[in-house]
Every structure is written in structure tokens, then in C-alpha cells.
């Protein structure tokens, strides 16, 4: 039977939309490879519609099994970015088309209309190359992780990962070729008429290709790490099987050093590990930035414990339920830090003498002091000089702009 052909985009989209349930079901079950003709009947309005999809080449019928035609399957995988087969041919073809369109543009020096036509094709080729490179990187990452995690056969797993290494090398080569075309030193576009959109496209494509190239480098390191792990596991499995075989043959003590090896081990698996705490010195705590951070963290933990250990408030009395104006006791620490940066004073005295809208206790002021240090550590300068206020010792802290 001669295959029918869609004569317009509208006709194609209408047919695909009518049978979208069947196409969606077949696409999501594409890996099972066992979608029967009778199963498809439940997803179409009539058997005639199912036969039309077969006649138009959307679905292929082999015996009693149905599957999406390759062109539609590939289209959906590319659009949804779930493609498992990575091909460098498409990127290589796009690079070749870009070179050709640049050459055609330069040969249309006396034909502005022709130059404009090929300029549009150059822009399209640049966008296509960047998009394909990004998608290939995403597909490669997904396939590499799926292969390493889900492939149970170590030989097949290694073969697939080595194939992905070759694909990375191919994509990297094509990316570098495109970057060379866009390089200012080669002056590829020096003979082009000024075009602002082309300039922006070149900048975007360079950025995308650079990001894709770095992702490929990271992915190559990941694959090589996976291969090393596979080799290590393979050697361990091989040794374990050989040792088990010799144990079953009652020859493992005479043919290996298993007895000496085990006698040198003193593992007690069920014994709990002992953690030994190390007390920091007072000199380290008082004279180093790390020591100050440790003190701040300890103070915050103590504050949290005190808040948790407080007794619950007593029940509310009836007279306290009467509506009264409430003044919210709230201090904006960020605004306080901004004022301190502009003051030029040392932090502790600034927080201590600041005019708050409501009275603040000394503990609250110390808390503001530590919070400002924690949130603005890189913008502060810590002096070696320490001062004392009652039982509180504190270093002199100034904004960096003052020093």
C-alpha cells in the first residue's frame, strides 16, 4: 500500500491532535517494544483513525505490534530533551552549513537582497549550533548517570561509557571549530555589513559554547572516575570469586596468604567509636579570627538553649485582655549595621550607645553586636586590642572603610 502524505502543516497538526492520547501512550511506552494493535484501540475513537495513522506513516505496524515511526519519535525526544542517542552528525552538519552560508554571503557583495537572505541563514545556523551543543551536553549527562546507576552488566557499562567519551571528544572538537569561526583574530565576520543583532547573537553563542565546553570537561572527568570505579569493582569481584573457588576446593589456605592477612587485622565492627574532644587554647580564642567565630557560635548556641529552657508564660489574666496600645520592641539589625558603617566608631561602643526607640538590655545589645559581625564579617576589620566591660571582653571592630 502506498503511504499517504500530509499536504499541509494544518492537516498534520489536526491529525496528531485528534490521536494525541494514542501518540502520548506509545511515546511513554517506547522502551517496552510491545505495544499491540488491540491495545491501541482503547486510545482512539475508531479503528479507522488508527489505520489512518498507519497509512500516513505516523505509526509503523509490524505483525501485531505498533511503534512510532523514527522521524516522529526523534522529533518528540528532541523537543522534550529525553533523547538517548547522541549524534555529532547534526552539529557537524550545522557547522558545515554555517561555513557555506558565510561563503555565500561574501560572494553576494553586489546583491544586498542576497546578502540579507544568507545573513539570516548565518544567524539561524549560529543559534542552532549553540542549542544543539547545549542539548547534547544535557543528554550526555543524563545518559552517563543512567548507564552508571542502572546498567547491571559491567562490560556493557564500560563500553557505553567509553562511547560517551568519544562523543564528548567529537562535540568538543565541533565547539572549538565554531569558537574559532567567531574569534576576532580570524576576522571571519570582518567583511560583513554592520548588524547589531548579529553582534548580540555572536556574544550569546560564545557564552553558550563556553559553558557547554566547561560542562563537557566536567563530564569527561566524571566518566573517567566512573571507569576507575568499575575497574576497581571488577578487580574486587574477580578476586572474591577466585578466593571463593579456592575456598570451595579447600585450597585457599595453602594457595593464598589469607590466614596471615586476617591475622594482621584487628577490626571490632560492633565496637562504638570514641570521639575525643580537643579544648582550644585561650590564646587562639582571643587572638584569631577563627577563635572569634567559635566564640560567636558558642554564644548563639547558649542563647538558643536559654530560650528553650525558659518556663512557659503564665495564663493571661482577664484585665490583660483589655485593648491597649502596643509598642513593638523590634530593632532592625541591618539598618543598625548600615549606621555603624557610616559612623567610624568601634562596633561595641556604637551598639552600646546607640539611641534605640525602646530601652534595650545589655544582653540584647551584645546579641546585636555578634549578629552584625556574623552578617558583615568581610566588611569589618578586627583589631588586636581588647577591652573589658564588666565580665564581657570584646575586641575592637571597625568598618574596613575607616582603616
What average pLDDT score do residues 78-104 get?
A: 72
Q: In the structure, what pLDDT confidence band is assigned to residue 403 with cuts at 50, 70 and 90?
A: very low
What average pLDDT score do residues 393-401 get?
A: 81
Q: In the structure, what pLDDT confidence band is assigned to residue 185 with cuts at 50, 70 and 90?
A: very low
pLDDT above 70 covers a percentage of the chain that reads: 84
pLDDT above 90 covers a percentage of the chain that reads: 0
Q: Give the residue, 84 or 45, on which the prediction is more confident.
A: 45
Rounded CA separation 85/87 (Å): 6
Q: Give the residue, 99 or 266, on which the prediction is more confident.
A: 99
Rounded CA separation 258/23 (Å): 60
What average pLDDT score do residues 19-41 get?
A: 77
Write a three-state SS string for the chain: CCCCCCCCHHHHHHHHHHCHHHHHHHHHCCCCCCEEHHHHHCCCCCHHHHHHHHHCCCEEEECCEEEECHHHHHHHHHHHCCCCCCCHHHHHHHHHHHHHHHHHHHHCCCCHHHHHHHHHHHHHHHHHHHHHHHHHHHHHHHHHHHHHHHCCCHHHHHHHHHHHHHHHHHHHHHHHHHHHHHCHHHCCCCCCCCCHHHHHHHHHHHHHHHHHHHHHHHHHHHHHHHHHHHHHHHHHHHHHHHHHHHHHCCCHHHHCCHHHHHHCCCCCCCCCCCCCCCCCCHHHHHHCHHHHHHHHHHHHHHHHHHHHHCCCCCCCCHHHHCCCCCCCCCCCHHHHHHHHHHHCCCHHHHHHHCCCCCCCCHHHHHHHHHHHHHHCHHHEEEEEEEEEECCEEEEEEEEHHHC
pLDDT at 250 over 70: yes
Pairing of strands 35-36, 392-399: unpaired
Neighbours of 342 (CB within 10 A): 10
Q: In the structure, what pLDDT confidence band is assigned to residue 326 with cuts at 50, 70 and 90?
A: very low
pLDDT at 269 over 70: no
Are 209 and 130 contacting, i.e. CB atoms less than 8 angstroms apart?
Answer: yes
Q: In the structure, what pLDDT confidence band is assigned to residue 167 with cuts at 50, 70 and 90?
A: confident
What's the confidence (pLDDT) of residue 318?
64
What average pLDDT score do residues 350-360 get?
A: 84
Predicted TM-score (pTM) of this structure? 0.46
What's the confidence (pLDDT) of residue 17?
82
pLDDT at 309 over 70: no
pLDDT at 168 over 50: yes
What average pLDDT score do residues 72-84 get?
A: 69
Are 154 and 234 contacting, i.e. CB atoms less than 8 angstroms apart?
Answer: yes
pLDDT tens, position by position, 198-209: 888 888 888 888
What average pLDDT score do residues 184-212 get?
A: 78
The mean-pLDDT minimum among 105-114, 181-190, 211-220 falls in 181-190
Q: In the structure, what pLDDT confidence band is assigned to residue 362 with cuts at 50, 70 and 90?
A: confident
Amino acid at each position: 500500500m502506498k503511504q499517504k502524505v500530509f499536504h499541509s502543516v494544518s492537516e498534520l497538526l489536526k491529525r496528531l491532535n485528534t490521536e494525541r492520547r494514542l501518540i502520548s501512550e506509545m511515546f511513554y511506552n517506547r522502551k517496552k517494544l510491545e505495544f499491540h494493535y488491540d491495545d491501541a484501540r482503547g486510545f482512539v475513537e475508531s479503528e479507522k483513525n488508527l489505520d489512518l495513522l498507519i497509512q500516513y506513516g505516523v505509526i509503523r505496524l509490524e505483525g501485531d505490534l505498533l511503534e512510532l515511526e523514527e522521524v516522529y519519535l526523534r522529533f518528540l525526544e528532541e523537543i522534550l530533551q529525553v533523547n538517548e542517542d547522541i549524534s555529532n552528525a547534526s552539529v557537524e552538519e550545522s557547522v558545515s552549513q554555517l561555513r557555506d552560508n558565510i561563503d555565500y554571503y561574501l560572494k553576494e557583495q553586489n546583491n544586498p537582497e542576497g546578502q540579507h537572505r544568507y545573513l539570516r541563514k548565518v544567524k539561524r545556523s549560529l543559534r542552532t549550533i549553540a542549542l544543539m551543543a547545549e542539548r547534547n551536553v544535557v543528554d550526555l549527562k543524563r545518559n552517563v548517570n543512567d548507564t552508571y546507576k542502572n546498567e547491571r552488566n559491567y562490560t556493557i557499562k564500560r563500553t557505553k561509557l567509553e562511547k560517551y567519551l568519544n562523543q564528548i571528544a567529537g562535540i568538543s572538537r565541533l565547539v572549538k571549530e565554531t569558537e574559532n569561526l567567531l574569534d576576532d583574530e580570524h576576522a571571519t565576520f570582518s567583511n560583513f555589513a554592520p548588524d547589531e543583532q548579529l553582534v548580540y547573537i555572536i556574544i550569546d553563542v560564545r557564552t553558550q559554547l563556553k559553558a557547554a565546553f566547561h560542562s563537557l570537561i566536567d563530564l569527561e572527568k566524571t566518566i573517567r572516575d566512573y571507569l576507575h570505579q568499575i575497574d576497581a569493582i571488577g578487580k574486587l569481584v574477580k578476586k572474591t570469586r577466585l578466593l571463593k573457588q579456592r575456598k570451595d576446593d579447600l585450597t585457599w589456605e595453602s594457595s593464598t596468604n589469607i590466614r596471615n592477612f586476617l591475622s594482621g587485622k584487628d577490626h571490632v565492627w560492633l565496637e562504638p567509636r570514641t570521639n575525643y574532644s580537643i579544648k582550644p587554647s585561650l590564646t587562639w580564642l582571643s587572638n584569631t579570627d577563627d577563635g572569634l567565630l567559635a566564640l560567636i557560635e558558642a554564644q548563639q548556641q547558649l542563647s538558643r538553649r536559654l530560650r528553650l529552657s525558659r518556663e512557659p508564660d503564665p495564663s493571661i489574666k482577664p484585665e490583660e485582655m483589655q485593648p491597649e496600645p502596643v509598642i513593638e520592641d523590634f530593632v532592625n539589625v541591618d539598618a543598625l549595621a548600615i549606621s555603624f558603617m557610616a559612623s567610624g566608631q568601634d562596633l561595641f561602643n556604637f551598639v552600646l550607645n546607640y539611641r534605640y526607640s525602646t530601652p534595650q538590655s545589655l544582653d540584647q545589645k551584645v546579641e546585636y553586636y555578634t549578629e552584625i559581625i556574623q552578617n558583615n564579617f568581610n566588611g569589618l576589620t578586627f583589631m588586636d586590642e581588647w577591652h573589658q566591660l564588666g565580665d564581657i571582653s570584646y575586641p575592637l571592630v571597625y568598618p574596613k572603610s575607616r582603616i
